[in-house]
Amino acid sequence: MNILTIEKVSKIYHRKQEKVVAIKDISLTLKKGDFISVRGPSGCGKTTLLLTAGGLLSPSEGKVIFNGNDLYKLSPEERSHFRAENIGFIFQQFHLIPFLTVEENVLLPSLAAYKEKSGGDVKKILENLNLAERISHFPSELSTGERQRVALARALMNRPKILLADEPTGNLDEENGKIVLGYLSEFARNGGAVLVVTHDRNVAENTDKRLNMEKGVLL
pLDDT of residue 38: 96
Nearest CA-CA partner of 161 in 68, 95, 74: 68
pLDDT of residue 108: 85
pLDDT of residue 115: 58
**CATH code (residue 114):** 3.40.50.300
pLDDT of residue 172: 87
pLDDT of residue 111: 72
Instruction: Enter the pTM of the model.
Output: 0.90
How far is residue 27's CA from residue 155's CA, in Å, rounded to a whole number? 25
pLDDT of residue 119: 53
Domain count, the chain: 1
- Domain encompassing residue 147: 2-218
Please, which residues bridge with residue 70 across strands? Answer: 65
pLDDT of residue 120: 65
- The tens place of each residue's pLDDT in the chain, 219 residues long, gives 789 999 999 999 988 888 889 999 999 999 999 999 999 998 899 999 999 999 999 999 999 999 888 999 999 989 988 888 899 999 888 889 999 999 999 988 777 655 555 556 788 889 988 899 999 999 999 999 999 999 999 998 888 999 999 999 988 888 888 888 999 999 999 999 999 999 999 999 999 999 999 999 998
Cα 10 to Cα 140, 147, 217, distances in angstroms: 39, 33, 9
